[in-house]
C-alpha cells in the first residue's frame, strides 16, 4: 500500500485552521510597572480562558481549544484532550474540527487509529468545502486506505482539492487516476462535480 501521498496531505490538514481566529497576547508592560508572569503561568491562563469558552458548548471555541492542545499552541500539548474537544465540535458540524479529527484518527494521535471514523470526518469536512480533507479523501480512495479503492471517487476528490488550491495534489496524481476511468465514469464524475459546485453555492448564499 503506497501512502506517500497521504502524509503531506494530513500534515497540511493539521497545520492549517481556516476561519478560526486566535487571540493574540497583549504586549507586556515595562517591568518597572508590572512584573511579567513566567511562561508557564501565561500558558495556564490561556488554557483556562480557552477552556472556559469551550465549556459553554460553542463549537468554534471547542475547535479553538482542541487545535491549541493538538499543536501545543500557547499551551502545553495534550493530544487526548485535543481529540476530545475536536470530537465535540465535529459532532456539531464544525468543519475545521472535522478535518483535524480526521487526521488524528488516521494517525492515531491522542488515541487508537480508526480509519473508518477518519474517513467519516474527512468526508463531513470535505462536503462542507474543506480543501485539505478533499485531498486526503482522494488519496484514501486512490490507495484503498480505510476504504475500498475507487478511481472515480479518488479523481472526484483530488480534482476538487487541486481546484481549491491544495498544492499536494499534482497533475501527475490526477493523470494517474484519470487513466483508470472509463468514458462513462468520466461523464458521471462531471455531473457529480457540477452538482457539488452548485451545492456549495447554495450553502454560501
Identify the three-state secondary structure at position 165.
Answer: coil
Q: Tell me whether residue 111 is in a domain.
A: yes
Radius of gyration of the chain (CA): 20
Domain extent, residue 198, equals 6-14+38-203
CATH of residue 163's domain is 1.25.40.10
Report the Cα–Cα distance between both ends of the chain, in Å, rounded. Answer: 41
Query: Are 84 and 37 within 8 A, CB to CB?
Result: no
pLDDT tens for the 205 residues of the chain, in order: 344 444 444 444 344 433 433 333 433 344 443 444 446 676 778 888 888 888 899 999 999 999 999 998 778 899 999 999 999 999 999 999 999 999 999 999 999 999 999 999 999 999 999 999 999 999 999 999 999 999 999 999 999 999 999 999 999 999 999 999 999 999 999 999 999 999 888 877 6
C-alpha cell at 113: 487509529
Residue-level pLDDT at 75: 83
In the chain, the number of structural domains is 1
Query: Are 200 and 126 within 8 A, CB to CB?
Result: no
Q: Tell me whether residue 29 is in a domain.
A: no
Numbers of helices and strands, H then E, in the chain: 10, 0
C-alpha cell at 57: 458548548
Q: Tell me whether residue 32 is in a domain.
A: no
Distances (CA, A) of 140 to 100, 178, 182: 16, 16, 20
Q: How far apart are CA 174 and CA 98, in angstroms?
A: 25
Q: Tell me whether residue 128 is in a domain.
A: yes
Q: Tell me whether residue 152 is in a domain.
A: yes
Amino acid at each position: 500500500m503506497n501512502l506517500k501521498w497521504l502524509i503531506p496531505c494530513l500534515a497540511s490538514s493539521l497545520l492549517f485552521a481556516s476561519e478560526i481566529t486566535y487571540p493574540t497576547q497583549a504586549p507586556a508592560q515595562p517591568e518597572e510597572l508590572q512584573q511579567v508572569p513566567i511562561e508557564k503561568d501565561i500558558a495556564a491562563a490561556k488554557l483556562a480562558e480557552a477552556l472556559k469558552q469551550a465549556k459553554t458548548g460553542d463549537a468554534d471555541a471547542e475547535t479553538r481549544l482542541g487545535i491549541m492542545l493538538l499543536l501545543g499552541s500557547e499551551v502545553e500539548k495534550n493530544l487526548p484532550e485535543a481529540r476530545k474537544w475536536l470530537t465535540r465540535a465535529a459532532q456539531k458540524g464544525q468543519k475545521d474540527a472535522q478535518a483535524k479529527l480526521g487526521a488524528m484518527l488516521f494517525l492515531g494521535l491522542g488515541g487508537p487509529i480508526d480509519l473508518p471514523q477518519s474517513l467519516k470526518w474527512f468526508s463531513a469536512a470535505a462536503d462542507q468545502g474543506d480543501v485539505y480533507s478533499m485531498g486526503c479523501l482522494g488519496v484514501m480512495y486512490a490507495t484503498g486506505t480505510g476504504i475500498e479503492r475507487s478511481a472515480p471517487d479518488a479523481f472526484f476528490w483530488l480534482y476538487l482539492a487541486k481546484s481549491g488550491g491544495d498544492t499536494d495534489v499534482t497533475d501527475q496524481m490526477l493523470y494517474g487516476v484519470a487513466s483508470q476511468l472509463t468514458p462513462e465514469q468520466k461523464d458521471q464524475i462531471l455531473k457529480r462535480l457540477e452538482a457539488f459546485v452548485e451545492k456549495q453555492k447554495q450553502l454560501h448564499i
